[in-house]
Structure 1
Amino acid sequence: MSEHTEKATPSPVDADRSAEEQLRKFGYKQELQRGLSLRDLIVYGLVFMVPIAPFAIFGIVFNASHGMVPLTYLIGLVAMLFTALSYRAMSRAFPVAGSVYSYAGRGIGNSAGFIAGWAILLDYLLVPTLLYVTGAVALAAVVPAIPQSVWVVIFVVFNTVVNLAGIKITALANRAFLIGEMVILALFVVIAVIAVAQGKGGAHWSLTPFFNSGQFSLSLMFGALSIAVLSFLGFDAISTMSEEVAGESKLVGRATVLSLCMVATLFVIQTYLAALLVPGQTEFATEDAANNAFYDISGRAAGHWMLVVTAVTAALAAAVANSLVAQAATSRLLYSMARDGALPRFLSHISPRRKVPDRAVLLVAVLSLFLGLVFVGQIAFLSTLVNFGALVAFLLLHLSVAVYYLIKRRERTYGMHLVVPAVGFVIIAYVLYNADTPAKVGGLIWLAIGVILLLVRKAMGRDTTINLDEAEG
């Protein structure tokens, strides 16, 4: 009994050694610093997804769903949960830093891994830029004397300094940002509950935001979900921290599922209360009204001061907290692809002192700064491209689960490794089908460039070779 207990709960030191030995089986050595706990991973996922993400897009999702925003986020939870389970399955099999790039590469093949990595790079590279631009627009409205370009520079410099300081400093910053967001969210919830109880503006308790029979249709909800899915992107990035986890590799999959469920619960609560404060309404008349809907609702519930608080908090959450973890995730993906030779190898350099991929962090900073200054104020254009790459990568993730477990390992776990990825694949494909045309066009151009690069590398004899010894074992 005691032996069983000891095996089931290894000491942190033994767990780290086991993780490092497992990493060596894949042909890699331990270079990044292991120091992240389950709580750190959950916080990382929550900060990346942003607990107050609906603040910024509430009005847009409201119009697309005809007022059924909380229902949209419930459907989103179900949709993303299948993807989270696929991430959990692959992170347990391959506890390495490359996320879907590594999973598709080892689950399906090298070419699939390259395309998956290239696809999600579109998301990871543009997300920090989009967040910087969004934050700059919001703060410029509050402090018009400071140009938006200055805000972009400030955000990029701050996040780069924190990320270069080491993963433990980044983790501490994540906790501080998360606490701040949760305090503001709790304040809104209390104010909204009081406002509904007092019947402000005709508000009253109702289940209409969850289901309005006169407006509901499946195509309507999935059209709204193609927008709302932006709020969920980030749970997948937890897997990029696999080589920095202190303890068992299973913690990555556990944190992925837990953080997704937790943030979805917060999304549903805040959007339900906000929807109740605009009773009988199914759309906002103008684009400006939709963009500022949540802030206006907050002001209506408690006064102009609450409008300013929610607007500034949303801006800082996006441009600082969310961008911080986005830069960290992107740098780990670049590091992993460069380590395998899929990208220039100089990006695989690790700082001897801080144990972070410093060159990858700096490259992300430079690209974000350049793109942020070029596209400052152009939120709509950037938003159309962000989701496409992640959704395509998710499709390859689901395929990799089925191919790896059922074909390569010949297991008969049809429920978790066939049904789950199959359902997840269909849902993601349908969401992708309902995406905006500009997103499809821009995304397909990006994928075409990736395919050309892959073919060129093959022609030059420089195709990526991923160590598959463990996968075949």
Structure 2
Amino acid sequence: MSLENYGYKQELKRVLTFKDLVIYGLIFMVPIAPFGVFGYILDQSQGMIALTYLIGMVAMFFTAISYWSMSKSLPIAGSVFSYAHHGIHPVAGFFTGWLILLDYILVPSLLYIVSANALHDFLPDIPGTVWIVFFVVANSLINCLGVEFTAKATKIILIFELIVLAIFVALGAKDLWLSDHSSFTLMPLYDSDNFSFGLIFGGVSIAVLSFLGFDGISTLSEEVKGDQNTVGKASLTALLVIGVLFIVQTWIAADLLRNMAINNVDTAFYDAAFIAGGASLKTITLFATIISWGLANALVAQSAVSRILFAMSRDDLLPKCFAKVHDKYKTPVVSIFFIAVISIISGLYFSDKLDDLTRLVNFGALTCFVMLHISVIVFYVFKKRQYNVVLHIIFPVLGLLIIAYVIYEMDVTAKLLGLSWLAVGIVYYLVLRFVLQKKINLNIE
């Protein structure tokens, strides 16, 4: 069905191709994302880091299929907010949108903090807060210039990331193959002495952060040219490519450090890079993390959340100003600058509370993935009554169960912080509905 069938008009510019979407997804997920969190996951999984990423990819595979199913029938900006809104009920859409905001609004701040902290090590005389403001301003200006400009800018950074990754993999594999102090083993995938489901899924709850981003492709549904399968195919393609890259690089890094003492989980991957290629490779991988997290990933994260604010505002769930589109560049300019302000505020507040920020982001994303799978089942089985048993029942149920277990194994603090955010959303909804007496938009069919 077309956009007009749901009561909306085409305001954003349709220019993105399948290739653009795949690149967008890869940039959002960051091919070298494990560089920054490798030590934490390696420690949590007792060395079985490749297994955590493999399980994470399987869980996200079912989620990607559900995104494909919903984007095919609902070609609407707003991602899982729109799918729950039209697939289940507008009220479900509101709370799903509220939860995904917890992920998308705070993700740019997390990325800015990681990059600013790394840059502070290079240039200690410049405070990290200065770098946070620099990244926010730069990305906001680029995003305002249009989605085409954003796509072109991120392609260059993606190529750089892949080159750095290829160098690490080549030198790391060479070291494992030829050196006496380390070798390839199966232990990053399975270690019978340490294996337990609780242990591994605890690692998955951290590793899943690296996969967040393929879902952002669906926020661009109203800017895609092509058939209704373009968004779904791009989401699945980006996920599978990135999953393989994650498994390969973490497997090599884990084996490089097999017989080494890890003194600092923050620098564990860079220590592996030092073993593979010396001080120069360690510096290059650290610099690549700064560029990919602070510029490329944060750039597309800000782009994605601005589209969610645009969609929720259009449905009267947020102030109307967030639906304002720039006359020339056809971008949701108010939403973009609002996210910029939030990123600066939260970036400064969480600059020394990165663990809490990471927990909030993961809780928001995973709970929304649960709502996505429920949306598929309700929309196709109960509303349309035209469903494929595998795609619309079995896959969503499997994806839901895996993600629910990951949430169960999450840190208690993460769940308390996430539920606190949900409680704020309940209060906001009650004010919106009964004090301001706004009706939830019912543009369903």
- TM-score band (shorter)? over 0.9
Q: Residue 32 of structure 2 aligns to a residue in which SS?
A: coil
Contact preservation (8 Å) 1:133, 1:378: no
Once the two structures are superposed, the pairs formed by residues 213-232 of structure 1 within 5 Å of their partners are 213-232=192-211
Distance 1:65 1:421 in 2: 27
Of 48, 51, 73, 2:28 maps to 48
Structure 1 residue 378 corresponds to structure 2 residue 353? yes
Contact preservation (8 Å) 1:242, 1:249: no
Aligned to 1:468: 444
* CA deviations over 1:211-239 (Å, ceiling 9, x no partner): 11111122211111011000000111100
Structure 1 residue 279: Cα displacement: 2.4
* Percent identical: 45
Distance 2:230 2:103 in 1: 24
Structure 1 residue 396 corresponds to structure 2 residue 371? yes
Distance 1:438 1:75 in 2: 23
For structure 2, list consecutive stretches of 5 or more residues without a partner in the other structure. none
Once the two structures are superposed, the pairs formed by residues 69-108 of structure 1 within 5 Å of their partners are 69-108=49-88
Q: Residue 351 of structure 1 aligns to a residue in which SS?
A: coil
Q: Which amino acid aligns with 2:438?
A: R
Structure 1 residue 412: Cα displacement: 4.3
Aligned to 2:6: 26
4+ residue stretches of structure 1 with deviation over 4 A? Answer: none
Distance 1:132 1:223 in 2: 25
Aligned to 1:129: 109
Aligned to 2:91: 111
Aligned to 1:339: 314
Q: Residue 193 of structure 2 aligns to a residue in which SS?
A: coil
Structure 1 residue 163 corresponds to structure 2 residue 139? no
* CA deviations over 1:170-204 (Å, ceiling 9, x no partner): 0001111110100100111111011112215x111
Q: Residue 35 of structure 1 aligns to a residue in which SS?
A: coil
Aligned to 1:210: 189
Once the two structures are superposed, the pairs formed by residues 265-280 of structure 1 within 5 Å of their partners are 265-280=244-259
Aligned to 2:417: 442
Contact preservation (8 Å) 1:155, 1:319: yes
Structure 1 residue 240 corresponds to structure 2 residue 219? yes
Structure 1 residue 411: Cα displacement: 2.2
Distance 1:445 1:331 in 2: 23
Distance 2:311 2:320 in 1: 10
Distance 2:92 2:380 in 1: 16
Distance 1:241 1:290 in 2: 36
Structure 1 residue 285: Cα displacement: 5.2
Contact preservation (8 Å) 1:107, 1:403: yes
Cα 1:386–1:412 change in 2 (3 A) is closer
Q: Residue 2 of structure 2 aligns to a residue in which SS?
A: helix
Contact preservation (8 Å) 2:262, 2:268: no
Distance 2:258 2:305 in 1: 41
Distance 1:429 1:407 in 2: 22
Structure 1 residue 247: Cα displacement: 1.5
Aligned to 1:425: 400
Distance 1:402 1:198 in 2: 52
Distance 1:247 1:424 in 2: 28
Cα 1:188–1:285 change in 2 (3 A) is closer
Contact preservation (8 Å) 1:137, 1:377: no
Aligned to 2:432: 457
Contact preservation (8 Å) 2:182, 2:259: no
Aligned to 2:305: 330
Of 246, 255, 259, 2:238 maps to 259
Structure 1 residue 463: Cα displacement: 2.8
Distance 2:407 2:224 in 1: 32
Distance 2:259 2:406 in 1: 28
Farther off after superposition, 449-458 or 24-33: 449-458
Farther off after superposition, 292-301 or 407-416: 407-416
Farther off after superposition, 301-310 or 30-39: 301-310
Once the two structures are superposed, the pairs formed by residues 158-197 of structure 1 within 5 Å of their partners are 158-197=138-177
Q: Which amino acid aligns with 1:174?
A: T
Q: Residue 386 of structure 2 aligns to a residue in which SS?
A: coil
Farther off after superposition, 82-91 or 449-458: 449-458
Across the aligned residues of Structure 1 and Structure 2, the Cα RMSD in angstroms comes to 1.2
Distance 2:186 2:225 in 1: 44
Contact preservation (8 Å) 2:30, 2:297: yes
Structure 1 residue 280: Cα displacement: 4.7
Structure 1 residue 142: Cα displacement: 1.1
Q: Residue 312 of structure 1 aligns to a residue in which SS?
A: helix
Farther off after superposition, 314-323 or 379-388: 379-388
Contact preservation (8 Å) 1:134, 1:377: no
Aligned to 1:299: 274
* CA deviations over 1:392-439 (Å, ceiling 9, x no partner): 111111111101100111124222111111111111110011111111
Distance 1:279 1:97 in 2: 45
For structure 1, list consecutive stretches of 5 or more residues without a partner in the other structure. 1-20
Structure 1 residue 337: Cα displacement: 0.3
Distance 1:203 1:142 in 2: 30
Q: Which amino acid aligns with 1:115?
A: F
Contact preservation (8 Å) 1:454, 1:463: no
Distance 1:189 1:285 in 2: 20
Distance 1:411 1:357 in 2: 35
Structure 1 residue 58 corresponds to structure 2 residue 49? no
Contact preservation (8 Å) 2:142, 2:150: yes
Contact preservation (8 Å) 2:184, 2:252: no
Distance 1:428 1:50 in 2: 21
